[in-house]
Chains A and B, each alone.
Chain A
Amino acid sequence: MAAASLARFLRPDQCSIRLVESAEIGIVGVGEATVPHIRFFNQTLGLDEADFMRKTHATFKLGIEFVNWARLGDSYIHPFGDYGRPFRGVKFHQVWNRLRLAGDTAPIDDYSLPIEAAKHARFEPPTNDPQATLAGFGYAFQFDATLFAPYLRAWSEQRGVRRTEGRVVDVALRGTDGFIESLTLASGEKIEGDLFIDCSGFFGLLTEKHLHTGYEDWTHWLPCDRAVAVPCESAGPLLPYTRATAHGAGWQWRIPLQNRTGNGHVYSSKFMSDDEAATTLLKHLDGKALAEPRFLKFVTGRRKKTWNRNCVAVGLSGGFVEPLESTSIYLIQAAITHLIELFPDRNFDAVNLDEYNRVMDLEFERVRDFIVLHYHATERDDTPLWNYVRKMSIPDSLAYKMELFRERGVVVNYKVGLFFEPSWVAVYVGQRILPKRFDPLLDDTPLEELRRHTGALRTAVQAGARAMPTQADFIARYV
């Protein structure tokens, strides 16, 4: 992704781009599910959507289903889109909360077209007509990351990126300031450069092993530190959403691709053994496992400076937050976008690096808060992990956000960072953080008026979803 983006935006007469990778080192490939921003990435490169989907076995994604999170037996979908429509300028979730507090039982999911479509395995791209009864929605993809990499490689090489197969065995730092001067490969080849982008994964080959940048550990908020992954045969209709099912010491992902289903179990080694984790994973597959389970270790957190000297850490080398909300690829994209906006010259002035790190810190912290919310806002007390996360102290920034929502259903907005109001509403409500009070502007509105408003929306949602083809049919035609 970094090579392709830089090849898109840097002039070949001014910069040359080299990429070093080794087939000996596998890729993690847990980032198979994405958020709608990926479409902007693809559009920027000018990728043809149908071709991209064909070559990466991709499916469409309308949201993420969370099963067993706040309570065993609970389920909700975090959709890529808004709920309902405002009522006389009052936000829809306030109207819904008004009726809920009056005893109405319709879940907020009933007012989301992408949720309704997801539940019925249907898909069609949004029209986003501002006059439509329903709010517009977005979509993302679920794809095979191990196929996306070669797809981008071909694209990048066509645009002049030189790829070198080889393992980095040595890194030379400049004596004066510790900047990276060159890499030496196992073949003996020496590669010099002005700017180095570390996409080596958790290991942080350049940023950590050689620059000793340091890492901020968030395990006390997000205790999962292992994952075990396995693909399985597809079963049932082709679903346009990812599922995250909470288990006793973590959670399991299910990502439907065109040809198979990706699965993985993220867990905390403090609360579960590797064997038990693998057994749990295999017990909860939709179809026959297609490979041996593969284990991964990680430490949740963020590199202290994702840009240090002349090295920018992109992807897992910059930081890791478990893929519960499919943010891994988003954070790669954010790192690249901000790098392009703040592309340096050879001086690597501190003002530029500081600005990059300020913005990336916000990106990471806002994703972190959102993920911590899923764990902390639980009533589960059936296992030690859930007891820990329910009682742990959380970042002040998150405690403040939760208090505002509990008090009045207010969502804190910000400019930099992922996840806007509808996403926060989806997860608060899904995690049973329910506002004790609705917007007082609705205080003296007759309930019947509100019910007419919501009733019409419910009907429109159902009709809208019914009018869509199944995702399987849509993809068969489209791809």
Chain B
Amino acid sequence: MEVRDIVIVGGGLAGWYAAARLGHAMRGRKINVSVVHGAPAGAPADPLDVFCASTLPAQAVAHAELGLEERLFMRECRATFKLATEYRGFTDPARSYMLPHGEIGARLEAVGFHQFITRLAQAGRTPDLDEFSVPAIAARLGRFAHPSQDARTVLSTYEYSYHFDTQAYTRLLRGFAQRLGTVAVDAGLAAVERGADGRDIAALTLSDGQRITGDLFIDCSGARSALLGAALEVPFDSWRGWLPCDRAVVTRVSALEPPAPCTRVTAEPGGWSWQVPLRSELEQAWFFDSSRVDPDTALKRALRGGASVSEVSFVNGRHREAWRGNCVAVGAAAGFLEPLASTGLRLINEGMTRLIALFPDRDSAPVLAAEYNRMMGAMYDGARDFVLLHYLLSRRAEAPWNVEPAALPPSLARRVEMFRYRGRVVLEDDEIFEEPDWACTFVGQGERPARYSILADQANDADVQARVAKIARIMQAAAQKLPPHQGYLERYLA
């Protein structure tokens, strides 16, 4: 029995993103998608409605697959390009490192480039990995151009992503989904009826009294997880013991400088801040632990710059299953991770990609849900390890940075142990971040492995230094030649 009626609950970014992906994947199919988009009175904001403003490179690919034209999207959403995230003040207040979208250095042997840097560090020279990455250098210089398609040039070794206005993006997705036939139901969720066996959702009652049935329910209701968590009672595992921040204040200020092609994440006493450059504005947010920092103080600080300030509460963590019965949760309804590594939209997108790949029938065996939960669980946990690593390695002396969590997740403990031991990056199945991302973060946060790979030990010191220096020069020269980001944006979007 095919799934014909799909009901999406939640009209925020996640809900309309889900509708757009489904509408596109199911074009030409006799499928009805409706989005229950009214929020019940007093419902808290979905944190992802704000925190998807900075993305990862997969988004350009996702838009291309959707057929969402880049110029249109960028104009509508006042988007800018992103080549990297700059992490400031994690080791000491004056230092920063880049997490670029792309490769680091060059393949000198069948081993990560960072192994050569460890070798040089042991010989007394300590270059930063940033120096060997076109996107990292270009991000610092405020330069951007689309990567080259020509595999012979270093300008093909990077990727890019976007910063954008999430409200405009949600409107754009809504229009896109509606043109593909999605029906917007202008009411909020009032009650959920469970099926006879308790595992399924039978119907929803809406605020206007109507009753909606469906074959598949997609819970995009945000952190309240109205279907998966509240109605089906799938337990939520909080990561608060590892990631203590639970509150953010967000504001937007006029940009005083041209937009940087990177997101800035700055470690501060009590938490961290981010700056996401839009076309003529800067989105700013402070993330903090409300048990240590007075929210009013944070609000006052935000008010100094911005016209309007919103406050968002969240808990890092995820539901033990994202798919149960005929209900799949996507976005914060499945799990939330503070946007320190720009994972918000990526996790929504992966949630939809995998749902489409495992798209069920009404009578499918539970193994499809099991596989979905295995993959999405691994993806959330891998992203959590990545974010938690920043806290763990920070050398700052004050909370929350100086807090040693009681016991690390075993997966992260192994990654840290292996990197410290020999610079080895342990990768799990189904995770977002790859070897260069982990290596950059470890090295950027001041970790120097105790030993390096024998694969980085072939040539003599002088030869390695010469090759490494040459790579740095090539990267530097390539990045220098890129045009300023602002000018590129103006020409591209003219």
Contacts and interface: CB of A to CB of B under 8 A. Distances in A.
Contacts of A11: 454, 457-458
A64 interface: no
A439 B359 contact: yes
B365 A414 contact: no
B424 A408 contact: no
Given A345-B451, A349-B421, A441-B356, A410 B371 contact: yes
A55 to B, nearest CB: 25
Nearest to B24: A89
Contact of B454 (A9, A89, A404, A437): A9
B68 to A, nearest CB: 15
Nearest to B363: A437
Contact of B424 (A10, A89, A349, A355): A355
B454 A407 contact: no
Given A11-B458, A439-B359, A444-B29, A351 B428 contact: no
Interface string B406-450: 000000001001100110101111100000000000000000000
Interface in A338-360: 340-343, 345, 349, 351-352, 355
A403 interface: yes
Interface string B357-371: 111110011011011
A412 B371 contact: yes
B156 interface: no
A4 to B, nearest CB: 15
A342 B422 contact: yes
Contacts of A407: 364-365, 367-368
Given A440-B2, A440-B359, A404 B367 contact: yes
Contacts of B29: 440-441, 443-444
Interface in A397-412: 400, 403-404, 407-408, 410, 412
A400 B367 CA distance: 8
A444 B458 CA distance: 58
B421 A351 contact: yes
A10 B421 contact: no
A9 B455 contact: yes
A445 interface: yes
A343 B414 CA distance: 18
Nearest to B459: A11
Nearest to B460: A11
B152 interface: no
B3 interface: yes
B304 interface: no
Given A440-B3, A441-B356, A343 B454 contact: yes
Q: Dominant SS at the B interface?
A: loop
Nearest to B414: A355
Nearest to B367: A403
A259 interface: no
Contact of A441 (B26, B65, B428, B453): B26
Contacts of B110: 44
Contact of B358 (A341, A342, A349, A410): A410
A414 B421 CA distance: 25
B367 A415 contact: no
B457 A341 contact: no
Contacts of B121: none
Contacts of B364: 407-408, 437
A158 interface: no
Interface string A439-475: 1110111000000000000000000000000000000
A366 to B, nearest CB: 11
A340 B457 CA distance: 12
Nearest to B4: A443
B30 interface: yes
A412 B454 CA distance: 33
B368 A408 contact: yes
B410 to A, nearest CB: 12
A16 interface: no
A392 to B, nearest CB: 21
Given A407-B368, A408-B368, A355 B454 contact: no
B28 A415 contact: no
A316 to B, nearest CB: 26
A145 B111 CA distance: 29
Contacts of A404: 367-368, 371
A413 interface: yes
B368 to A, nearest CB: 6
A30 to B, nearest CB: 29
B2 A352 contact: no
Contacts of B429: 413-415
Interface string A314-353: 0000000000000000000000000011110100010110
B25 interface: yes
Contacts of A14: 457
A341 B454 CA distance: 7
B326 to A, nearest CB: 14
A441 B359 contact: yes
Contacts of A400: 367, 370
A461 B65 CA distance: 28
Nearest to A408: B368
Contact of B417 (A351, A408, A439, A444): A351
Nearest to A439: B359
Contacts of B453: 341, 343
Contacts of B358: 408, 410
A9 B357 CA distance: 42
A54 B151 CA distance: 35
A408 B28 CA distance: 21
B427 A415 contact: yes
A14 B359 CA distance: 56
A352 B458 contact: no
A369 B340 CA distance: 39
B458 A9 contact: yes
B352 to A, nearest CB: 13
Nearest to B428: A415
B426 to A, nearest CB: 8
Contacts of A413: 429-430
Contacts of A412: 371
A351 B414 CA distance: 9
Contact of A340 (B65, B365, B418, B454): B454
Contacts of B111: 341
Given A343-B454, A444-B28, A352 B421 contact: yes
14 contacts: A9-B454, A9-B455, A341-B455, A343-B454, A351-B417, A352-B421, A408-B368, A413-B429, A415-B427, A415-B428, A440-B29, A440-B359, A444-B28, A444-B29
Given A340-B454, A355-B426, 13 more contacts: A9-B454, A44-B110, A352-B422, A404-B367, A407-B364, A413-B429, A414-B429, A415-B429, A440-B2, A440-B359, A441-B26, A441-B359, A444-B30
The 7 closest A-B pairs by CB, nearest first: A444-B29, A343-B454, A403-B367, A440-B359, A407-B365, A414-B429, A415-B429
